[in-house]
């Protein structure tokens, strides 16, 4: 895959504050295996092949970027894939995400939300492995190999960076990056959901020497996972018109909205060199989000 570019979006925020803002465009690495997902999957897929498995099993909801990325990456590696999907609504009415998964050859197995809650329970996982056969990657690639892959994103962060901002789902990408970046770089995560256990989950996997100089900014989940407001949609559209960078409504739109507000609140010191990570996720956007219809 090509190296991601860094786009300078300082002019979107100035003249508010004397800070510089770059976006690391992980969304441009691959049309389907977009953003942070490739980094979290790569070492997991190596492990699958080294162990001689022919199938990857993983978990996600009906809009999951991780499911699509896994389907595409497994296909590229010559592996078959099985997606365990949360809830039955996607079976009756497949979302665009689930149709893409199926088109990429992923078999889909729908389970109830109650059963899905067991997705990390050893007994449930061994039963799954027995009935379907394959290597199980946790939801969101949230394991040691996922974090190890996310560490590699640090190589694309310029040395003079003082602050890194990124959206947070499981915290896998955030933790990997925290472990790889110098402790002097301040990291802010923008959770896309209300989850009070996230900070503990990150601390629990951060190396002691790097478990410093980071925080989660809880104000920008917009009511919960994949929830939006007209204000958020309006922001995503105006950001696109000004910068030509598409954001997604679940993760990166909320992060960038939060960064804009923090800049207005003077939360960053003068001369801060901020890098925002575009973690991808555009496949899940509603159709027409960036259409410039008259009057909108």
- Under rule CB under 6 A, residue 174 binds ligand PLP: yes
Among 42, 66, 119, 163, binds ligand PLP (CB under 6 A): 66
CB neighbour burial string for 84-115, b if at least 16 within 10 angstroms, e if fewer:
bbbeeebeeebbebbebbeebebebebbeeee
The 183-222 contact track toward ligand PLP, x by CB under 6 A, reads ----------------------------------------
CA distance 171 to 205: 10
Min dist CB 133 to ligand PLP, Å, is: 26
Residues across the chain:
296
Min dist CB 38 to ligand PLP, Å, is: 11
Residues 6+ apart with CB under 8 A from 75: 81, 104, 105
Minimum CB distance to ligand PLP smaller for 17 or for 67: 67
- Nearest CA to 67 among 102, 23, 91? 102
Min dist CB 222 to ligand PLP, Å, is: 14
Minimum CB distance to ligand PLP smaller for 17 or for 253: 253
Min dist CB 247 to ligand PLP, Å, is: 9
CA distance 162 to 101: 38
- Under rule CB under 6 A, residue 161 binds ligand PLP: no
- Under rule CB under 6 A, residue 58 binds ligand PLP: no
Min dist CB 281 to ligand PLP, Å, is: 3
Stretch that binds ligand PLP, among 105-113, 122-130, 207-215, 246-254 (CB under 6 A): 246-254
- Under rule CB under 6 A, residue 252 binds ligand PLP: yes
Q: CA torsion, points 77, 82, 88, 89, in degrees to nearest 10?
A: 10
Min dist CB 71 to ligand PLP, Å, is: 14
Stretch that binds ligand PLP, among 43-51, 82-90, 167-175, 265-273 (CB under 6 A): 167-175
Among 65, 97, 100, 273, binds ligand PLP (CB under 6 A): 65
Token couple for 39: 């980094």
- Nearest CA to 179 among 150, 216, 141, 143? 150
Using a 10 angstrom Cβ sphere, with 0-12 exposed, 13-18 middle and 19 or more buried, the burial of residue 48 is buried
> Can you name the residues that pair with 164 across neighbouring β-strands?
187, 275
- Under rule CB under 6 A, residue 172 binds ligand PLP: yes
44: helix, strand or coil:
helix
Residues 6+ apart with CB under 8 A from 115: 124
Interface residues with ligand PLP (CB under 6 A) are: 35-36, 65-66, 140, 167-174, 248, 251-252, 279-281
């Amino acid at each position: 895959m090509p190296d991601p570019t860094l786009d300078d979006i300082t002019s979107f925020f100035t003249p508010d504050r004397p800070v510089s803002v770059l976006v690391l465009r992980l969304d441009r690495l691959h049309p389907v295996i977009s953003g942070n997902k490739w980094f979290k999957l790569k070492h997991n897929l190596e492990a699958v092949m080294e162990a001689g498995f022919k199938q990857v099993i993983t978990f996600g909801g009906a809009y999951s970027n991780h499911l699509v990325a896994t389907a595409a990456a497994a296909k590229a590696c010559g592996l078959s894939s099985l997606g365990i999907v949360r809830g039955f609504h996607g079976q009756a009415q497949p979302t665009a995400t689930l149709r893409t998964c199926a088109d990429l050859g992923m078999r889909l197995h729908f389970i109830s939300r109650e059963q899905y809650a067991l997705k990390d329970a050893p007994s449930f996982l061994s039963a799954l492995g027995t009935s379907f056969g394959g290597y199980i990657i946790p939801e969101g690639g949230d394991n040691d190999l996922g974090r190890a892959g996310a560490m590699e994103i640090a190589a694309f962060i310029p040395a003079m960076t003082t602050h890194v901002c990124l959206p947070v789902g499981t915290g896998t990408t955030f933790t990997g990056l925290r472990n790889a970046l110098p402790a002097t770089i301040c990291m802010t995560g923008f959770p896309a959901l209300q989850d009070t256990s996230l900070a503990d989950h990150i601390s629990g996997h951060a190396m002691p020497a790097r478990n410093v100089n980071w925080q989660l900014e809880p104000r920008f989940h917009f009511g919960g996972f994949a929830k939006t407001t007209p204000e958020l949609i309006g922001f995503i559209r105006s950001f696109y018109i000004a910068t030509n960078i598409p954001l997604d409504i679940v993760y990166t739109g909320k992060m960038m909205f939060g960064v804009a507000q923090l800049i207005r609140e003077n939360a960053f010191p003068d001369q801060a060199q901020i890098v925002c990570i575009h973690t991808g996720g555009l496949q899940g956007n509603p159709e027409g989000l960036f259409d410039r219809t008259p009057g909108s």
